[in-house]
Amino acid sequence: MAANRPRPLSPHLTIWRWGPAMLVSILHRITGSGLSILGLGVLTWWLLALSGGPESYSAFVNGVDWLTGSAITDAQGIGWKILAIVGLIVGIGLTWAFFQHLLSGIRHLVMDTGTAFDLGINKTSAILTILGSVLLTAALWFYLLGGVK
């Protein structure tokens, strides 16, 4: 009978250096999973509110206002404010995940045409994907929180 010797690990853990393209690839998978779980939950909540009529949709809008903290008063206490901050963080996180996944998908679509495989262009497009998602998220939330009048 053969002895069970430990098998060696794949060398990919030791020979590859992390780069922007690897980060964008992994973020694309993570954001896709996050959007499918959390995003579908929010989408389902919204669709159920729409199908429930005006009162149900009004409750949804009030819930979103509550999650972003715009409907929280001082009389409701610190617990509600903390929950509103958590809701705001989840909303910003979902928005960033959406933009990251969108821009990464566009990047992959361009690469599927056979372009952007040169190391310099590949690295630049990966960095632009990350920066673009952060800037688009910041711009959208600046607008949503009343930064633009």
More confident residue, 24 or 3: 24
Count of Cβ atoms closer than 10 Å to residue 25 Cβ:
15
Count of Cβ atoms closer than 10 Å to residue 38 Cβ:
15
Count of Cβ atoms closer than 10 Å to residue 107 Cβ:
21
Q: Does the pLDDT value for residue 52 go beyond 70?
A: yes
In 3D space, the residue among 78, 34, 43, 40 whose CA is nearest the CA of residue 64 turns out to be: 43
Summarised one tens digit per residue, pLDDT across range 8-24 is: 666 666 677 789 999 99
Q: What is the percent of the chain with per-residue pLDDT over 70, rounded to a whole number?
A: 81
C-alpha to C-alpha distance for 51 and 46, rounded to whole angstroms: 9
Q: Does the pLDDT value for residue 126 go beyond 60?
A: yes
Mean pLDDT of the chain: 85
Provide the pLDDT confidence category of residue 125 given band limits of 50, 70 and 90: very high
Summarised one tens digit per residue, pLDDT across range 63-114 is: 776 655 555 566 566 766 777 777 788 889 999 999 999 999 999 999 999 9
Question: Could you tell me the two tokens for 101?
Answer: 């996944």
Helix (H) or strand (E) holding 16: none
Residue 57 confidence (pLDDT) = 84
The dihedral sign for the CA sequence 72, 149, 64, 135: negative
The answer to whether 94 touches 39, Cβ cutoff 8 Å, is yes
CA R_g for the chain: 21
Q: Does the pLDDT value for residue 149 go beyond 70?
A: no
List helix spans (H) across 70-148.
78-112, 119-144
